[in-house]
Structure 1
Amino acid sequence: MPQTTEVPDIGSQRELFVDHYLIDRLDGTSLKLHHPQPAGVAIRYNQPWEDRLAFYTTVLKDGDIYRMYYRGSLMGQRPHPTCYAESGDGIHWTKPELELVELNGSTKNNAILRHNGQFCVFVDTRSGVPEAERYKANARDQQQPSSLVGYTSADGIRWTKLRDEPIVPMVLENNFDSQNVMFWSEVEGCYVLYARHMVSDARVRSTARATSTDFVNWTEQTPMTFSDTGSTTPSQHLYTNQTHPYFRAPHIYISLPGRIHFDRSALTEAQSAEVCPDPVSGGGADISDGVLLTTRAGTTHYDFTFKESFVRPGIGYNNWTSRTNYPALGVVQTGASEMSLYVQRDYDQQTAHLDRMTLRIDGFASVNASYAGGEMVTKPFRFSGKELEINYSTSAAGGIRVEVQEASGVPVTGYTLNECPEIIGDELERIVCWESGGDVNRLAGIPIRLRFAMKDADLFSLRFR
């Protein structure tokens, strides 16, 4: 095999198989999208200050506390509050009586802001950040609705507007008309923004990116490009973007957009009226699902590797109305082998609620081999560490063997396929061993390839440690 001119150094970082970054050749194998499984209702929008248009949810794991922020109401002229819920496990949620905002003549509610429907929060993990600014958020300015203003908080509940002036002005068409995501990137060493915009000539909703070193002064927004079109125009409307660092591989940003299909209906008028008799926002005129995209730290490129639905609408007329099935912002660990994401359901219906769904750790996608078997060979790369760890699953009949090769493709003596005992099982952290053991430290820092021979198996991630 020819030598690659640029050899990435993955160090000891975890690599997920959500894109082709490490993959050189798939022979009898393929990248497989996995689908989250229903795990019950997280919260119902059933309070007087909430309604069927509750939306734009963010979920964070903050130490031992899970925090949730969402728009409580959008109906009529009443306040459109930002609401807060919390959990000790990410499964069972409570809406605390915060007594911060008066709604309907009472402060016994879980509202944190009276009128701010697109409030998007993150925990600022930047070293040296003042305690009073440990939590940050952005929202559309109520005075200048097409701009973003900043907020800070010491506890994630009581918020102060950073300043009256916007921190990010509108520069693109349809800018910020959705949930706009900010976070501190440990990998990039700066704050990052992913924001809504409209591709003017194509009239397609898309995403742009900007960065900041201080949360106040931002670079110009750069429209993201998409792998499936090779341009800044995505192949479909992406209403939200929900882009954020994956907690086990922060150089990989997971994006879970709500994909909307305008003027595409699955229901008859009668069926739509049955679940959404007086629609405010679309009703049965269009349908939505959730998709998986990824991007890597420091780039302006989305990999739209999987065009198939990540979150399908599912059985029931209620799942086939406008703007339902949108994933919330945030993927969090909720068990030893489980992570959770949250999905908007029954939007614009009296039964509006937020579902929890689960995946195995790292389980967005995998290199998959059928029973017939196949191989995957990586591009050349460098690493640091002394052991190779894989997250994998096989059937009782299946298995995986691993070979280390020189960059040229020549097997390294002591690490060949024939010297690797078959790996059978289902583990998040399995150390690969050969007949001589699992120590690969002597190969650290030099270009290598990995060859995986697989049968009825999935490989979700790898790292050296």
Structure 2
Amino acid sequence: METPFRVLEIGTTPQLLIDDYAVEDVWMIRRSPEEPVKYLGNPIFPAGDTVIYDEEEQLFKMWYGIGIPGTFEAKGAYAVSADGLHWEKPELGLVEADGSKRNNLIETTGFGSVLKDPHEPDPARRYKMMTKRAGTPESEGRAFAAFSPDGIHWKDHPGEKSILRASNDGNGMVLRDDCTGKYINFRRTTVLAGGRGVLPEDIGFPDPRVMKGAGGDRLGVPEGIGFPSEDDFEAYEEADEYIHRYLRPAPHVHTRTLRIFRDTHEGLGCNRRIARSESDDFLHWTEPEVIIRPDELDPPRLYSISVARYLGVYIGLLELYDSCGNRRAPGTPQESDTIDIQLVFSRDGWRWERLASRPVFIRRGVIGAFDCGMLRPVNPPFMVLGDEIRIYYYGHGSSHNIPSSNQGLGVARLPKERFVARVAGDEVGALITKPFRLEGGYLQINANAAKGLIKVEVTDPFGNPIEGFSAEDAAEIRENGFRMPVRWTCGKRLSEIAGRVIRLRFYLYRSRLYSFVVDAGR
């Protein structure tokens, strides 16, 4: 029988209730993120940029950058682990450092995000890296490519040809979209609304090369220009009047440099928006297009993002850079220059949503913890291991502009499919799905009803209960489980109405509902 409603074809794919893709309406129901549980043994490693689990080799692999003293450049390094918690640095014998090749350095010009691509037909390009090269005018603001057959032996893309415009201090992350077959690069990009910005000449610098220190490679007024002394740049007197009139200079006790705090020019000329580019071959990319901007609830700067596609949803961990101290969490020492992580999600990778209350997804640590100042997700943002979602993140024990040795790679965990819950409290809430074609005969839910209950009703597309599948017929669910079966007391089975267009109406009381799936079996 035809229906006047748009019908979802969900098949037997688990439906996350993170957004309203499968949800028609709710009553007395709110969304709430599940808080990841941090591993008690954190930090597990001093660094980390890309962490994957190689199913083919049954091995965890990590790539990370090691800074070269006195420059903005980094060399790549490689580590492996059997469990993802205890890591080893293999002696690769590829790059000489401190007079020896007995190290885990990999040979690339620059370093960046790594992707293992099982769909690549050329074995020599099975691993891909989007790199940043610093130190030359030709490479500033550009991204480059490198390829490897094994993730260890790398070869730069021929010549000095860059593949994409990039921010000066980062290339973001790359993934291959199995749905479209395209490569996607998510990165931060320039704030265009800031007008002309503040060029070096505006503050008395005749040449951008004199801008050194943290952020010194950007055009604009960075927070930590980092001049060790007056003798290290020309036109000091000309710049001094501007600095003291518009900025608040203060001694930077950690690096013995001049740290500059901005009173004005918020956002001018900096890279604090999230953009997306696409490519069919990893070499020819579309121009970055802004997809996420801060709004009235955000601090003015979005630092970066890491994204993965999971059960039809693009899920991202978004970095919010609070340079104004607007989001200080209780027990944390920093009032400004912190970075927190928020959960974002999208069905197409272009239009993104966040929870209305904008909760922090992973909390920064307490005072003195390795992650009390900044949290930054690695690439990819998470991986699914059995019944667990594992999240690797990089923590800093200081704010954005203060170097600290108290930092490292951390791990946090979630139960499978439990990013966001639909939650009911002391009043019974209801959620009804959009109409979908029933292609299986066994309904299961991922939920926590250990302190409450959940009942499920099956209706026709107009919301009328189907005989034998009403709320009165539904068995109560009072447990916490990943794949809990839904039953009806009269003995009815969904297989009896397979092929029909139906809705599901969930009744929740003091419970959390994460997902549902219609299984073809049983």
TM-score, scaled relative to structure 2: 0.74
* Aligned pairs (5 A) from 1:100-249: 100-113=94-107, 116-117=110-111, 119-126=112-119, 129-142=121-134, 143-164=138-159, 166=161, 168-170=163-165, 175=167, 177-201=169-193, 203=267, 205-225=272-292, 229=295, 236-246=300-310, 249=311
**Residues 1:110 and 1:4: Cα distance change in structure 2 (over 3 Å):** farther
**Residues 1:87 and 1:402: Cα distance change in structure 2 (over 3 Å):** same
Q: Would you say the 8 A contact 1:258–1:289 is kept in 2?
A: yes
1:350 aligns with 2:405: yes
Partner of 2:216: none
Partner of 1:263: 324
Q: CA RMSD in A?
A: 3.0
1:431 aligns with 2:485: yes
Kindly provide the amino acid, as one letter, of the partner of residue 219 in structure 1. Answer: T
Partner of 1:20: 20
**Residues 1:4 and 1:264: Cα distance change in structure 2 (over 3 Å):** farther
Secondary structure of the 2:453 match is strand
Structure 1 residue 339, shift from structure 2 partner: 2.1
Q: Which has the larger radius of gyration?
A: 2
Partner of 1:448: 502
Structure 1 residue 178, shift from structure 2 partner: 2.8
Alpha-carbon deviations, 1:102-134, whole Å to 9, x = none? Answer: 2222222222246524x11122132x6222222
Q: Would you say the 8 A contact 1:84–1:112 is kept in 2?
A: yes
CA distance in 1, matches of 2:52, 2:193: 36
Structure 1 spans left out of the alignment, 5+ residues: 46-53, 273-282
Kindly provide the amino acid, as one letter, of the partner of residue 255 in structure 1. Answer: G
CA distance in 2, matches of 1:121, 1:301: 25
**Residues 1:92 and 1:144: Cα distance change in structure 2 (over 3 Å):** same
Partner of 1:252: 313
Structure 1 residue 242, shift from structure 2 partner: 0.3
Q: Would you say the 8 A contact 2:299–2:323 is kept in 1?
A: no
Structure 1 residue 372, shift from structure 2 partner: 3.3
Q: 1:302 aligns with which of 347, 352, 373?
A: 352
**Residues 1:361 and 1:37: Cα distance change in structure 2 (over 3 Å):** same
Q: Would you say the 8 A contact 1:225–1:302 is kept in 2?
A: yes
Q: 1:81 aligns with which of 75, 85, 88?
A: 75
**Residues 1:6 and 1:175: Cα distance change in structure 2 (over 3 Å):** farther
Partner of 1:41: 42
CA distance in 1, matches of 2:27, 2:327: 38
Q: Would you say the 8 A contact 2:273–2:292 is kept in 1?
A: no
Alpha-carbon deviations, 1:411-463, whole Å to 9, x = none? Answer: 12232222221122222122322246574346555542211111222111122
**Residues 1:293 and 1:443: Cα distance change in structure 2 (over 3 Å):** farther
**Residues 1:100 and 1:438: Cα distance change in structure 2 (over 3 Å):** farther
Kindly provide the amino acid, as one letter, of the partner of residue 443 in structure 2. Answer: L
CA distance in 2, matches of 1:160, 1:444: 54
Structure 2 spans left out of the alignment, 5+ residues: 195-266, 398-402
* Aligned pairs (5 A) from 1:84-95: 84-95=78-89
Q: Would you say the 8 A contact 1:402–1:452 is kept in 2?
A: yes
Q: Would you say the 8 A contact 2:79–2:89 is kept in 1?
A: yes
**Residues 1:177 and 1:234: Cα distance change in structure 2 (over 3 Å):** farther
Structure 1 residue 31, shift from structure 2 partner: 0.8
Kindly provide the amino acid, as one letter, of the partner of residue 444 in structure 2. Answer: E
Deviates more, 1:285-294 or 1:142-151: 142-151
CA distance in 2, matches of 1:255, 1:444: 35
CA distance in 2, matches of 1:187, 1:444: 27
CA distance in 2, matches of 1:73, 1:333: 31
CA distance in 1, matches of 2:160, 2:496: 56
Secondary structure of the 1:201 match is helix
Kindly provide the amino acid, as one letter, of the partner of residue 213 in structure 1. Answer: D
* Aligned pairs (5 A) from 1:1-16: 6-16=6-16
Partner of 1:325: 375
**Residues 1:400 and 1:321: Cα distance change in structure 2 (over 3 Å):** closer
Structure 1 residue 292, shift from structure 2 partner: 0.7
Q: Would you say the 8 A contact 1:33–1:365 is kept in 2?
A: yes
CA distance in 1, matches of 2:108, 2:145: 16
Deviates more, 1:91-100 or 1:57-66: 91-100
Alpha-carbon deviations, 1:189-234, whole Å to 9, x = none? Answer: 32222122123116372222222222222233332156x859xx97
**Residues 1:91 and 1:449: Cα distance change in structure 2 (over 3 Å):** same
Structure 1 residue 389, shift from structure 2 partner: 2.4
Q: Would you say the 8 A contact 1:42–1:91 is kept in 2?
A: no
Kindly provide the amino acid, as one letter, of the partner of residue 104 in structure 1. Answer: D
**Residues 1:78 and 1:364: Cα distance change in structure 2 (over 3 Å):** closer
**Aligned residue pairs, count:** 426
Partner of 1:286: 337
Structure 1 residue 303, shift from structure 2 partner: 1.0
* Aligned pairs (5 A) from 1:365-384: 365-384=420-439
Deviates more, 1:359-368 or 1:35-44: 35-44
1:363 aligns with 2:418: yes
